[in-house]
Structure 1
Amino acid sequence: MKHSLFYAGGLLLLASCSQSQLPQYVVTLNADDKVEGKTAYIVDFDTEENLDSAVISQGKAVFNGSLEAPRYVSVMVDGSSAGEFFLDGDSIFITDGIAKGGKLNELNKKHWSERLALVDEFRSLPDSVQKQRYEEFQTKISDMETQLLEENIDNALGYYCFFYGPCRRMDLAELDSAIAAHPSLGEYKRVQKVRDGLLKYAETSEGKMFKDFEVTYNGSTFRLSDHVGKGKYVLVDFWASWCGPCIRQTAVIKDLYKEYGPKGLEVIGVAVWDKPEDTLKGIESHELPWMNVIDAQNIPTEIYGIAGIPTIILFGPDGTIVSRDKQDDELRQAVAAAMESGK
């Protein structure tokens, strides 16, 4: 379990916790004058459900309650996060997004103080020494992460560490193995969603048959089955106008379209996770000559287990997935091999 030496992502507000019954919690949010009179909510990170609410009065919102087990939560005010922390049975104060007080947050502070001290020590070394000792410091950081995860694997902290750590780098078999070893991980909705995506990915990997989907925009309905499995090769590019890597791949696809379009290759762009007006501007500004499906959003990404874009899939004449997730020269080679084979 390794990350960059300078990685300090969402784990900054984490701490270990016990499985014991929690007493009453008191959370005090010190708020800005701009949100006076608004309602603040404590929202569960995993389920996204509202656990508690309080009106901001005289610059504060005070929450009182109890939980059966610790949860990682955020305080939301007017649609924005005012702080993220572990909620347990203690007094917790949130100022400028930082949670203080409570055993969990104090333990977390200690963990990150030690971790950031290592980073400072590394940065203080001369460049030549940094090169020699990089792996040493990287290993120390990795060991700290691993220890944090292993010591808390069956509680809320372990879940959060797992979700933002190894969970996102595992294949389906590895994730199932982790869940079998620690069944509590499989109970979290976000882990379930990751597993479902990996399952859908496996079902739509190279060698598998295509799965149909349809998207309706402006009264017109696109069905993948109207194009795929009809006796020709079809290259489908799942993209978005805001995605830099997606735009870079359009140059590759243009070359392929120019060379193999006359030989029967069909190219279809499917815009996901994008505003229709932005997609249309992108099609025009980047001069995309092929058919583009507008406003697909999550429809195909959930069916094909797409976690990131661009995702480019080449379907064979019978609808079999010939190539998936290749870019640049690998994509050129895959399309060339398919088109020149005549299969």
Structure 2
Amino acid sequence: MKKVLLSLLMQVPVLVFAQFSLKGEFTTAIQNKKLYFIYIQNNAEVIDSVVINNGKFSFSLDLKEPSVAVLLLQHQGNALKDQGPKDVYRLFIEPGNATLVAKDSIAQAQLNGLAIFKQDMAYKTALKTSESKLIALNKEFATLTPEKQAKAEIIENFQERYEGLLDERKAQVIGFIKDNPQSYISLFAFNQDLGVDNMDYTQAEALFNGLDDKLKNYAIANIIKQKLDIAKVTGIGAIATDFEEKTPEGIPLKLSSYKGQYVLLDFWASWCGPCRKENPFVVSAYEKYKDKGFTILGVSIDTDRNAWQKAIKTDNLMWAQLIDSTTEISKTYGIDAIPKNFLIDPHGKIIAKNLRGTALEDKLKEIFEKK
């Protein structure tokens, strides 16, 4: 019997937990205020709380791996539900003993005791320049009169500057990750800032492979791996995966039949409000560039074929349309929300994604003006 029990136990994966403890003190001797501690465990949000007694409090919990967390001080009312400004301190936690000192606001707290606190400070320092510029840019735009804020040339100027600063910030994130391949914060930053829908797959894969192997066992790493798997198929520079489906007339149509042209693979549905609002922009781009080597292939996730065909006529979508009846196309292209589109070059390579509003026309103008 003992041998059978031992055999069964050996088949069960063992989760190793270690303790994280936080002891804090408010120098103003805050009394009877509630302090919430919110963190992620097993991909789920956990909310704990204590009542501050004579300015002192403590939290203790078992951690399977490092996590991101929030301390929220309730000054009055219900801090979790009430709207308006909140007294919040965001932090990273890992197994070990930590201490906190604050005056009367948790947002101004000072933390000590864990290596991850120093890594977090280094990360904030690495991004300080670009984030300061982004804040200044927002303030500059806010000082403009409503008339100036509405002018297209001013909006375009600010958009270009904004995107330039985002590129600068991204470079700083990448630099931090390369310099700190063993830090959980590098893994978190990768997921937040680089593990995005329009990621550069080749760059992202190399950066992820350079991380410490221990990090790749964490929950966020599994999320990143899934994103990389999708990006390998749908990322910028990837060759668009071929598929075949029937048109409303029952004619089989393959994506690969469009090779030699620039084609927009456009995912939408008749019931999708944002999709229908995008359609006039797509129609405009089609009309301007259909005779220059550009076309569109629409893929709908509708289940009501009558509503789908009615929407095609109503929105004047004069290009080939397919309905993803088996959802296989959507799965292949990682469609978790619509509208979503992919611009594919004449060689079948994805060169842009999610071109919304006038962005599609701007991209086509850039392509065809170079010719």
What's the TM-score once normalised by structure 1's chain length? Answer: 0.49
What's the TM-score once normalised by structure 2's chain length? Answer: 0.46
Higher RCO (C-alpha under 8 Å, 6+ residues apart): 1
Structure number with greater Rg is 2
